[in-house]
Amino acid sequence: MKVKKFVAPSMNEAMKMVRAELGRDAVILHSKVVQTGGFFGLFAKKKIEVLAGVDPDPLPRRQPSAAASLTRQPSAAASFAPLPAAEREGDGSLVSELEEVKALIRQFNARSSSLLYPPPLAEAERRLVRQGMAEVYVRQVMDRLLERWYADKDGRSPAAVAAWTKEAVRDLLSPLPFVKTAEQKKYTILLGPTGVGKTTTLAKMAGRAVLEQGKKVGFITADTYRIAAIDQLKTYADILHAPLEVCYNADDFRMAKRNLAGCDLVFIDTAGRNFRNPQYVDELQQTLEFDSETETFLVFAATGKYDDMKTVYNHFSRLPIDRLIVTKLDETDSFGTIVNMLLDSRLAAAYFTNGQNVPDDMVEASADRLVHLLFGAERW
């Protein structure tokens, strides 16, 4: 790597000098404010010192071989594989240089904007940020992109970076257990803040169980907070010819379960409250039973604010939440918050809902679906 120091009165001018001398592929390795001139520390002028580098052709061209090109390996897992052993041994300095450049860029980016990445990577970062992905996850994706950018000189192009970005996000999501193999539990509880679509989603789930699986379903509502809440669920229960039990406390809840013993599946609705107040979570814990026959879903709307969701999730994490459900995907174009919530909670999402129609507007969630939501419709 060719590395050079530039000193200029402003960052803007320093960047111009870097571009003129090292070209558009140059990366900024480090920058700092320096004092120049003056007498005995007085009248010194502030300037910007920038250390920039450009990679003339770091990977020696080799004959194609199994280890020759990282992009030519087809699988997503292989695409971010470390440099092949032969290459490490043959040119250990290249690996450490790459690590050094990454560390410097990370360090610099912690204090500055993304203008330092080569243009296609900067575009990828902009898109991740625009989607609302948290900085910590953006950094993880960018680290992988950077690694690939330096490892695969021949494969660099905006289209390739778009594909790498999708792969990197999918890889981040891959540890989450989206595919559920266990049998459906008898009791389904939906929890979550006010108005996120708990009752509507519960009706969608119950409707599908009846229409697609021919199950006999029943409902319990623990939402006695709003007068209209019971009527809302009763309307759905009537359409499905399903019994509905109302419970005000733990005794009612046990009784309701006994009354619905003959149902295959029981869907339990709860009141949306301001769960930034942990007291409401305690109330739920006292009223409901979270046993091995129960699957508990935390519902949040894709339109919500990430910080608020985090607070709510932290309070709910005292309860045994199994999976998440994300609603109102049709009301936003930003899906990064979903990625953040899944990765923070280490929980998979069971469903995404995308409209008010019961039971149609709901799809099973998957990592691929989420990646498609984030980038699928866009052209890079």
Ligand X SMILES: Nc1nc2c(ncn2[C@@H]2O[C@H](COP(=O)(O)OP(=O)(O)OP(=O)(O)O)[C@@H](O)[C@H]2O)c(=O)[nH]1
The residues near 22 (Cβ < 8 Å, ≥ 6 apart) are 2, 4, 52, 53, 54
Asked whether position 199 contacts ligand X by CB under 6 A, the answer is yes
Q: Rounded to the nearest whole angstrom, what is the least distance from the CB of residue 297 to ligand X in the complex?
A: 12
Of these, 200, 287, 296, 340, which contacts ligand X (CB under 6 A)? 200
Q: Rounded to the nearest whole angstrom, what is the least distance from the CB of residue 251 to ligand X in the complex?
A: 23
* Burial degree of 310 (CB within 10 A; 0-12, 13-18, 19+): middle
Across the chain, how many H-helices and E-strands are there? 14, 11
Q: Which stretch binds ligand X (CB under 6 A): 41-49, 196-204, 282-290, 341-349?
A: 196-204
Closest alpha carbon to 188 in 284, 270, 95: 270
Q: Rounded to the nearest whole angstrom, what is the least distance from the CB of residue 198 to Mg ion in the complex?
A: 5
Percent helix, strand, coil in the chain (nearest 5)? 45, 20, 35
Please tell me the distance from the alpha carbon of residue 172 to that of residue 339, in angstroms, as a whole number.
9
* DSSP 8-class letter at 44: P
Which residue, chain included where needed, has tokens 């979270």?
290
Asked whether position 223 contacts ligand X by CB under 6 A, the answer is yes
Residues 41-60 that bind ligand X (CB under 6 A): none
Q: Which stretch binds ligand X (CB under 6 A): 104-112, 194-202, 236-244, 312-320?
A: 194-202
Nearer to ligand X, 139 or 315 (CB): 315
Q: Rounded to the nearest whole angstrom, what is the least distance from the CB of residue 227 to ligand X in the complex?
A: 11
Q: Which does 195 bind (CB under 5 to 8 A by kind): Mg ion, ligand X, none?
A: ligand X
Asked whether position 353 contacts Mg ion by CB under 5 A, the answer is no
What is the chain's alpha carbon radius of gyration, rounded to the nearest angstrom? 27
190 within 8 A of 203, measured Cβ to Cβ: no
Q: How many residues does the chain have?
A: 380
Q: Which stretch binds ligand X (CB under 6 A): 17-25, 75-83, 144-152, 188-196?
A: 188-196
50 within 8 A of 14, measured Cβ to Cβ: yes
How many CA within 13 A on the CB side of residue 41? 0
Closest alpha carbon to 199 in 175, 242, 232, 237: 232
Nearer to ligand X, 248 or 293 (CB): 248
Residues 107-146 that bind ligand X (CB under 6 A): none
Of these, 160, 186, 355, 380, which contacts ligand X (CB under 6 A)? 355
Of these, 38, 119, 195, 376, which contacts ligand X (CB under 6 A)? 195
Please tell me the distance from the alpha carbon of residue 211 to that of residue 217, in angstroms, as a whole number.
11
Asked whether position 281 contacts ligand X by CB under 6 A, the answer is no
Nearer to ligand X, 120 or 272 (CB): 272
Q: Rounded to the nearest whole angstrom, what is the least distance from the CB of residue 323 to ligand X in the complex?
A: 17
Q: Which does 337 bind (CB under 5 to 8 A by kind): ligand X, Mg ion, none?
A: none
Asked whether position 198 contacts ligand X by CB under 6 A, the answer is yes
Please tell me the distance from the alpha carbon of residue 266 to that of residue 17, in angstroms, as a whole number.
69
Q: Rounded to the nearest whole angstrom, what is the least distance from the CB of residue 320 to ligand X in the complex?
A: 20
281 within 8 A of 201, measured Cβ to Cβ: no
Asked whether position 331 contacts ligand X by CB under 6 A, the answer is yes
Q: Which does 355 bind (CB under 5 to 8 A by kind): ligand X, Mg ion, none?
A: ligand X
Asked whether position 353 contacts ligand X by CB under 6 A, the answer is yes
Asked whether position 199 contacts Mg ion by CB under 5 A, the answer is yes
- What b/e sequence results for 92-128 when a residue is b if at least 16 CB atoms lie within 10 Å of its CB, and e otherwise? eebeebbeebeebbeebbeeeebebbbebbbbbbebb
Of these, 132, 272, 304, 336, which contacts ligand X (CB under 6 A)? 272
Asked whether position 327 contacts ligand X by CB under 6 A, the answer is yes
Q: Which residues bind ligand X (CB under 6 A)?
A: 194-200, 223, 226, 229, 272, 327-328, 330-331, 353-356, 361
Q: Which residues bind Mg ion (CB under 5 A)?
A: 198-199
